[in-house]
């Protein structure tokens, strides 16, 4: 679907017409530059590659510099492909947040906050095992049994246990577009989106 690359600014709240306080996430969306146009003839499918946030040439390798020079644009820090634009945009053109005018809902893709190594209570919502009144000391947040004994004599793959939590790609669908502020390249979405402040977000119609 058509979309753009953005950066999460933070959260705020706005009042609706009927006086309700709506929590919103503020995202700086674009402007994004078309760095490559892919077609069925050359690549087997139709899409465009967008770049977001310029970076210095000294921080780019030579293949990247050649790629951006072909498009006639400065080196970009973040790249992503989006389908559904058709042939509306040419190489080197800028796409702004205006494409979300009159759009009611969008899908957002981001990287969730990393939580490090967490136990089963926080990671999977376990309630803990047993009661402290029965002589138990330090097993309140334990996972309990993770398998049988001599049979099957193994722990099955996928058993919920403690481990790395967060820092993974998360998609949130059907977030309501509250407001588009084109003069500041801002998009206000209802609710929260995955990621910390300053993280890169992909917004799709």
65-122 per-position pLDDT tens digit: 999 999 889 999 999 999 988 888 888 899 999 999 989 999 999 999 999 999 999 9
- Mean pLDDT lowest among 16-30, 100-114, 124-138: 124-138
- Domain around 143: 117-165
Task: Identify the pLDDT of residue 158.
Answer: 93
Terminal-residue alpha carbon distance, the chain: 6
- Whether residue 133 has pLDDT greater than 80: no
Q: Identify the residue whose tokens are 């089963």.
A: 120
pTM for the model stands at 0.84
In the DSSP assignment, the letter for residue 181 is: E
Task: Identify the pLDDT of residue 130.
Answer: 67
The distance of Cα 185 from the centroid of its chain, to the nearest Å, equals: 18
pLDDT, mean of residues 181-191: 94
> How far apart are alpha carbons 172 and 79 in whole angstroms?
20
- Whether residue 138 has pLDDT greater than 80: no
> How far apart are alpha carbons 129 and 137 in whole angstroms?
11
Average pLDDT, rounded, for the chain? 91
Residues 84 and 154 in one domain: no
Residues 179 and 196 in one domain: yes
pLDDT, mean of residues 34-63: 92
Residues 144 and 77 in one domain: no
Residues 153 and 56 in one domain: no
List strand residue ranges (DSSP E) for the chain, in order: 3-15, 21-29, 32-38, 47-54, 76-82, 94-95, 105-111, 116-118, 163-165, 169-181, 186-190, 200-204
Provide the CATH number for the domain around residue 183: 2.40.30.10
Residues 51 and 122 in one domain: no
Residues 59 and 157 in one domain: no
Confidence of residue 191 (pLDDT cuts 50, 70, 90): very high
Residues 199 and 146 in one domain: no
Number of domains, the chain: 2
CB burial of residue 43 (10 Å; 0-12, 13-18, 19+) = exposed
CA atoms within 13 A on the CB side of 45: 7
Task: Identify the pLDDT of residue 147.
Answer: 87
Residues 85 and 96 in one domain: yes
Residues 160 and 173 in one domain: no
pLDDT, mean of residues 188-205: 94
For 140, the token pair is 């309140």
Residues 97 and 144 in one domain: no
C-beta separation of 6 from 80 below 8 A: no
**Torsion angle defined by CA atoms of residues 13, 31, 76 and 48, in that order, rounded to the nearest 10 degrees:** 110
Residues 161 and 177 in one domain: no
Residues 81 and 105 in one domain: yes
> How far apart are alpha carbons 96 and 14 in whole angstroms?
23
Q: How far is CA 198 from CA 6, 8, 9, in A?
A: 9, 5, 6
CA atoms within 13 A on the CB side of 106: 31
């Amino acid at each position: 679907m058509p979309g753009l690359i953005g950066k999460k600014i933070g959260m705020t709240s706005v009042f609706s017409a009927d006086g309700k306080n709506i929590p919103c996430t503020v995202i700086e969306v674009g402007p994004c530059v078309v760095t490559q146009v892919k077609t069925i003839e050359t690549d087997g499918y139709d899409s465009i590659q967008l770049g977001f946030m310029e970076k210095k040439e000294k921080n780019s390798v030579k293949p990247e510099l050649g790629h951006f020079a072909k498009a006639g644009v400065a080196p970009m820090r973040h790249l992503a492909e989006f389908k559904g634009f058709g042939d509306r945009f040419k190489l080197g053109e800028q796409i702004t947040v205006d494409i979300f005018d009159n759009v009611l809902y969008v899908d957002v893709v981001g990287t969730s906050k990393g939580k490090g190594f967490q136990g089963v209570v926080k990671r999977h919502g376990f309630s803990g095992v047993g009661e402290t009144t029965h002589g138990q000391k330090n097993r309140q947040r334990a996972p309990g049994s993770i398998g049988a004994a001599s049979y099957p004599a193994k722990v099955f793959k996928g058993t919920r246990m403690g481990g790395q939590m967060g820092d993974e790609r998360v998609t949130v669908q059907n977030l309501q577009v509250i407001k588009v502020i084109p003069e500041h390249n801002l998009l206000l979405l209802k609710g929260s989106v995955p990621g910390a402040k300053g993280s890169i977000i992909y917004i799709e119609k």
